[in-house]
Amino acid sequence: MKRILVVSQHFWPEPFRINDIVEGFVEDGLEVDVLCGLPNYPRGEWFSGYRYTGPRRENYKGARVFRAGEIPRKGNSGAMIFLNYVSWPFFALFSLWRLKGPYDAVLCYNTSPVLMNFPAIVYAKLHRIPFTSYVLDIWPENLYSVLPVQNGFLRRIASAVSDWHYKRADRLIAMSLSLKKRLMERTGKPADRVAVIPQHCEDFYAIPQPDEELAERYAGRFNLVFTGNFSPAQSLDTVIRAAVKARGMGAENLRLLMVGDGMSRNALEALVDELSARDTVVFTGSVPPADVPRYTTLAHGLVASLSASPDLGMTVPAKIASYMAAAKPLLASMDGEGARAVEAAGCGFASPAEDSDALAKNMLALYQTGEAERAALGQKAFAWYQTNYRRRAVLDQLEDFLLPTEKTNV
């Protein structure tokens, strides 16, 4: 039986796709250990049942989970986010001895920060195990979308630290071809050492979940839905301003449901109050990933957005896959790969990042689209999901790349 060590600061019960990847590995007959942090993302508050002291050892869907300490990002201030970023890799080093190797491969599911690669690098080099980093947030560029670092010297340090981590990986996984090219340029790795594997979509996103109570609560309006994390990288102020403008342009029955939470929540609520838009924008709070289809099912359209950044433009947000699985029209306010995916699928409308006027026009266009045409857009989205983002296909690619000589499958 092949054995994999997965390293990720963020893991269950935090809502990240690595949870489903680990479950899939186990289902395919792999033995999996996970080294991760203590759940406090995105608000920086310990999840129920957790504190700094633990629990430090758990099981998840057949995988053994080893938790290392971290300083929670409480308040999501720049200082607390920085402390959270540097504390977990440090404490994780002192948990390496607890792991139950040997392993055939080490995988770091690398969201922010890039520093979470460090304990994986140390363990892999000490035990001479192939190490792969799945790069989801490219650093230091993604760092600047959260912490506005302007000092040139600090930026050079951040770039050097990031490149050091990427170069230490034996293999890298990128979400898009443009990100693969960037990683090859920065690391000097050959093409066969950098794979393009998109983020998959959990199967439950493709199953409608009609909810009578929610349907009644939000009945009588044209509901656009955003789901996910509220952070500066999402440029959700653009989405809110666009919804207000769209109503003023003639979409008088439009409502925007904001399903989620995160560091930008307070600022976004303040913006809604400033715009006197409580009748237009509704904050529902965070829901478990498995409950997201309750909201996508009632949606007339689904909204995804990113800040204006060439580097963010190299990524395809994970919500694009889950939105397509929901078989609903998409409104994408972003540049680069994410917008190109929506345009290639022919499943909605794309507009430039941070352009609230263009997004408002697209909201109005979808509002004026007939029900049959919206259903056709949704079917195009679902077809693209089936071809590109299905769980089984992505798991096969991951296992083939991590364990190239032999893949266990059932």
Q: Indicate whether 410 pLDDT > 60.
A: no
- Same domain for 233 and 183, yes or no, is no
The answer to whether the beta carbons of residues 303 and 294 sit under 8 Å apart is: no
DSSP strand pairing (57-60 vs 63-67): antiparallel
- Same domain for 182 and 58, yes or no, is yes
Q: What token pair was written down for 147?
A: 């912490």
pLDDT of residue 250: 95
CB atoms within 10 A of CB 55: 11
- Same domain for 149 and 208, yes or no, is no
> Sorting pLDDT into bands at 50, 70 and 90, what band is 315?
confident
Q: Rounded to the nearest 5°, which phi and psi values hold at 32?
A: -125, 130
* Higher-pLDDT residue of 260, 112: 260
β-pair partners for 390: 201
Peptide bond into 130 cis (omega under 30): no
Residue at 408 is within a domain: no
CB atoms within 10 A of CB 398: 23
pLDDT of residue 101: 87
pLDDT of residue 408: 46
Q: Indicate whether 407 pLDDT > 90.
A: no
Rounded to an integer, what distance in angstroms lies between the CA atom of residue 22 and that of residue 282?
34
> Sorting pLDDT into bands at 50, 70 and 90, what band is 201?
confident
Residue at 339 is within a domain: yes
CA angle 25–28–33, rounded 5-degree value: 35
Q: Indicate whether 35 pLDDT > 90.
A: yes
What are the Cα distances from residue 228, in Å, to 40, 140, 258, 282?
16, 22, 8, 14
Sequence-ordered strand ranges (E) for 245-371: 254-261, 281-285, 301-305, 330-333, 348-351
Instruction: Classify the C-alpha dihedral 214-218-223-227 as positive or negative.
Output: negative
Q: What token pair was written down for 168?
A: 């230490």
- Same domain for 189 and 287, yes or no, is no
Q: Which helix (H) or strand (E) holds 240?
A: helix 236-248
Mean pLDDT for all residues in the chain: 92
* 208-255: pLDDT as tens digits: 999 999 999 999 999 999 999 898 889 999 999 999 999 999 999 999
> Sorting pLDDT into bands at 50, 70 and 90, what band is 256?
very high
* Higher-pLDDT residue of 20, 146: 20
Residue at 409 is within a domain: no
Rounded to an integer, what distance in angstroms lies between the CA atom of residue 299 and that of residue 343?
20
Q: What token pair was written down for 309?
A: 């950044």
HSE-up of residue 170 (Cα within 13 Å, Cβ side): 17
- Percent over 90 (pLDDT), the chain: 76
Residue at 48 is within a domain: yes
pLDDT of residue 74: 87
Residue at 374 is within a domain: yes
Q: At what angle do helices 117-127 and 78-93 cross, to 10 degrees?
A: 20
Instruction: Classify the C-alpha dihedral 180-182-186-188 as positive or negative.
Output: positive
Residue at 410 is within a domain: no
Give Cβ neighbours of residue 19 (< 8 Å, ≥ 6 apart): 11, 12, 60
What are the Cα distances from residue 262, in Å, to 34, 79, 102, 220?
25, 16, 38, 29
* 122-161: pLDDT as tens digits: 999 999 999 999 998 888 776 666 666 677 777 788 888 8
CB neighbour class for 122 (10 Å; exposed up to 12, middle 13-18, buried from 19):
middle
Model's pTM, two decimal places? 0.80
DSSP at 249: T
Q: What is the tally of structural domains in the chain?
A: 2
- Same domain for 187 and 208, yes or no, is no
pLDDT of residue 188: 95
Q: Indicate whether 90 pLDDT > 70.
A: yes
Q: Indicate whether 404 pLDDT > 90.
A: no
Task: Return the residue matching tokens 């890298």.
Answer: 172
pLDDT of residue 78: 76
Q: What token pair was written down for 225?
A: 């839905």
- Same domain for 141 and 280, yes or no, is no
Rounded to an integer, what distance in angstroms lies between the CA atom of residue 182 and that of residue 185?
5
Query: CATH number of the domain that 252 lies in?
Result: 3.40.50.2000
Residue at 219 is within a domain: yes
- Same domain for 228 and 307, yes or no, is yes
pLDDT of residue 223: 97
Q: What token pair was written down for 396?
A: 């096969």
Residue 123: give the domain boundaries: 3-200+390-402
Q: Which helix (H) or strand (E) holds 196?
A: strand 194-196
- Same domain for 157 and 293, yes or no, is no
- Same domain for 196 and 229, yes or no, is no
- Same domain for 119 and 50, yes or no, is yes
Q: Indicate whether 405 pLDDT > 70.
A: no
Q: What is the mean pLDDT of residues 23-43?
A: 95
Q: What is the mean pLDDT of residues 86-113?
A: 94
Residue at 30 is within a domain: yes
pLDDT of residue 116: 93
- Same domain for 13 and 57, yes or no, is yes
Peptide bond into 55 cis (omega under 30): yes
DSSP strand pairing (301-305 vs 171-174): unpaired
- Same domain for 169 and 220, yes or no, is no
Q: What is the mean pLDDT of residues 387-400?
A: 91
Give Cβ neighbours of residue 361 (< 8 Å, ≥ 6 apart): 246, 249, 351
Q: What is the mean pLDDT of residues 8-29?
A: 95
